[in-house]
Structure 1
Amino acid sequence: MVDRYLLRYFLAVIDQGNFSKAAASCNVSQPTLSAGIAKLETLLGRPLFIRTNRRVELTAAAVDLAGHARRIEAEFAAAERAVQSAAAPATVRLGVLGSIPAAWIEDYAARLRDSGGGERVELVEGRERELAERLARGNLDVALTILRGDSRLPAERLLTEGYALAMAATHRLADRDMIDGAELAGEPMIVRRHCELLSDTSRYFTARGVRPFFPARVTSDDRALRLVRAGLGVTVMPESFHAPGVVRPRLADFGFTRDIGLLFGEHAGRAVRDRPAIRILVDLIESRPVDGFARRGV
């Protein structure tokens, strides 16, 4: 009999790409995970991975097993939720992309509190890939994230927004509505390491001869805004980010946008869209002022 933990180890190796990262994601040591994979291969009588120094490749047997393993894991998760729901209030597990403005989530939490509903919401922050993996495994019900159009999961777009500069209100160019990238030559820039457009932004400035000094590399948008306000440098952010003392002029010929919406786990499906906690989230986003971004259908 194949134990559930063996399938979880197997899926973790596929999702993470190597044994060390897979072990970390499962909260076990690498030798423990390796022993589990070896046991699974013995039970199945076929090798699952081709191990090299640089990466792990799937065998044909692993490809065949992957779909079955994901469905089994999703069913396990669904069974656990069904048992738990009998003794506890309904819980919606909501993933939130790290580059979603914290102000949105603050407003959402306040509306949840004021709604007086019986549902509980578990917020899980992560990167795009992390959220997609959790949805596929059945560890999340729905995620507020960037929609790429190539996901196998059901999705609903809520808004499309562009990107703009963020600079201190005291900056020499702060009174401009539009700034050409070349005008920022010599300006220090703050790197948002989690930015989904990091490579595109770098190419944009390099093409204009701008090779700035980077005084800070951050993974927090709140910290980025505070450093911008302090005058440490400028940065590029989605247009929905705002802070006192920070202005948001547009960047000439920088036409990138991102689609923000809901990505649903296969086990939950679109039915989770009708849960009160998710309706509150959708209503919140749809009611926000149109400021630099367009809502669905616009």
Structure 2
Amino acid sequence: MLSRRLVRQFIALVDTGSFTAAASRLHVSQPTLSAGIAELERSLGTPLILRERRALRLTEAGNRLLVHARAIEREFGLAERGVLETPPPAPPLRLGVLSSLATRSTAAIAAHYAGDGAKDRKGKALLTLTDAPDADLRRRLAEHRLDAIITTLRSADEGELLREEGYAMILPAAHRLAGREVLLPEELAGETMIARRSCEILAETSRFFTARGVRPHFALRSANEDRCLALVAAGAGVTTGPVSLAGTGTVAVPLQGYDYRRRIGLIVAEGQDALIAASGLGEVLREVV
């Protein structure tokens, strides 16, 4: 069986006309080259090179092989260049997502970038998601470990605004107060509370209830948003949160005096605007967040 190594040795010997020169071109020893040519002749069952006193001469079989050998090497070269010139797969888009963003929004973002390979059929780059609190997301963005983040905006000119919403009480859908248009803080004095530790206004919420003499019993304190909301849906307690967190089995009811709001937006790392624009991320977020 012909191997590329033997074909290249044969071509180098023909082109240089010398075992010494061919060995030098290929960066092998002369005995290695001689052994290679002998192996090629044995595999083909015929002499290829006539070794004369001052020169080397091809046999008839050697001349026929040379035509094929050059074609083989040319095709190898084309194949190598084709592979090397193919652009490498686009790296995944690294997106940080605020822990308190509704899971259905995060899932909808991921769904837009699902697919095999470096890009899907629409040419969108694949996505890697990092779920973390605001401070952690901002640190990773500054360290260029993330390309963009979806988080709470601190000022009107920071990032691109995607959603603005208020906070409310989140109750089980079957709760006795679920149909109310607004709740009074004192009505919650006897309620069991689920504490969302990932809440951006956790300290403010604690002060709000303490100032009104409401000190509920806590059934769970957790940073796991889905677990907290699942317990609310199951009737194990109530919680506070952005209105967008209310979903299946829960309702959001405004709480008098609890007038906090949040602005969710996209912040892009320095120098990554072109990447974000090419990925189509902005359009996706405006649809699903």
TM-score when normalising by structure 1: 0.62
Change (3 A) 1:86 1:128: farther
2:28 aligns to what?
A: none
1:215 aligns to what?
A: 219
1:142 aligns to what?
A: 148
Alignment pair present for 1:262 and 2:258: no
What is the CA distance between 1:207 and its match in structure 2?
A: 1.2
> In structure 1, how many angstroms separate the alpha carbons of the residues matched to 2:93 and 2:105?
18
2:24 aligns to what?
A: none
1:160 aligns to what?
A: 164
Q: Which of 165, 171, 175 is 2:175 aligned to?
A: 171
- Report if the CA contact (8 A) 1:97-1:145 is conserved: yes
> In structure 2, how many angstroms separate the alpha carbons of the residues matched to 1:243 and 1:104?
12
Alignment pair present for 1:282 and 2:285: yes
1:95 aligns to what?
A: 96
> In structure 2, how many angstroms separate the alpha carbons of the residues matched to 1:87 and 1:146?
35
> In structure 2, how many angstroms separate the alpha carbons of the residues matched to 1:158 and 1:283?
6
Map 1:1-12 to 2 at 5 A.
none
Tell me the amino acid that sits aligned with residue 202 of structure 1.
Answer: S
> In structure 1, how many angstroms separate the alpha carbons of the residues matched to 2:186 and 2:171?
16
What is the CA distance between 1:225 and its match in structure 2?
A: 1.2
1:116 aligns to what?
A: 121
Change (3 A) 1:102 1:261: same
Tell me the amino acid that sits aligned with residue 123 of structure 1.
Answer: L
Deviations 1:81-110 (Å, cap 9, x if unpaired)?
Answer: xxxx95222421111111111101111222
Tell me the amino acid that sits aligned with residue 281 of structure 1.
Answer: V
What is the CA distance between 1:254 and its match in structure 2?
A: 1.0
Change (3 A) 1:282 1:244: closer
Deviations 1:248-268 (Å, cap 9, x if unpaired)?
Answer: 111111110011001111232
2:131 aligns to what?
A: 125
Alignment pair present for 1:251 and 2:252: no
What is the CA distance between 1:123 and its match in structure 2?
A: 0.9
What is the CA distance between 1:150 and its match in structure 2?
A: 9.2
Tell me the amino acid that sits aligned with residue 274 of structure 1.
Answer: A
2:206 aligns to what?
A: 202
> In structure 1, how many angstroms separate the alpha carbons of the residues matched to 2:247 and 2:114?
24
Stretches of structure 1 lacking an aligned partner (at least 5 in a row)? 1-84, 289-298
> In structure 2, how many angstroms separate the alpha carbons of the residues matched to 1:197 and 1:112?
31
What secondary structure is seen at the aligned counterpart in 1 of 2:282? helix
- Report if the CA contact (8 A) 1:111-1:280 is conserved: no
2:105 aligns to what?
A: 104
Tell me the amino acid that sits aligned with residue 154 of structure 2.
Answer: R
- Report if the CA contact (8 A) 1:94-1:123 is conserved: yes
What secondary structure is seen at the aligned counterpart in 1 of 2:97? strand
Report % sequence identity: 39
Tell me the amino acid that sits aligned with residue 229 of structure 2.
Answer: L
- Report if the CA contact (8 A) 2:109-2:285 is conserved: no
Q: Which of 243, 246, 250 is 1:242 aligned to?
A: 246
Deviations 1:132-151 (Å, cap 9, x if unpaired)?
Answer: 11111111110011111299
TM-score when normalising by structure 2: 0.64
- Report if the CA contact (8 A) 1:97-1:144 is conserved: yes
> In structure 1, how many angstroms separate the alpha carbons of the residues matched to 2:280 and 2:221?
35
What is the CA distance between 1:128 and its match in structure 2?
A: 0.7
Moved over 4 A (4+): none
1:10 aligns to what?
A: none
Aligned length in residues: 199
1:61 aligns to what?
A: none
- Report if the CA contact (8 A) 1:117-1:276 is conserved: no
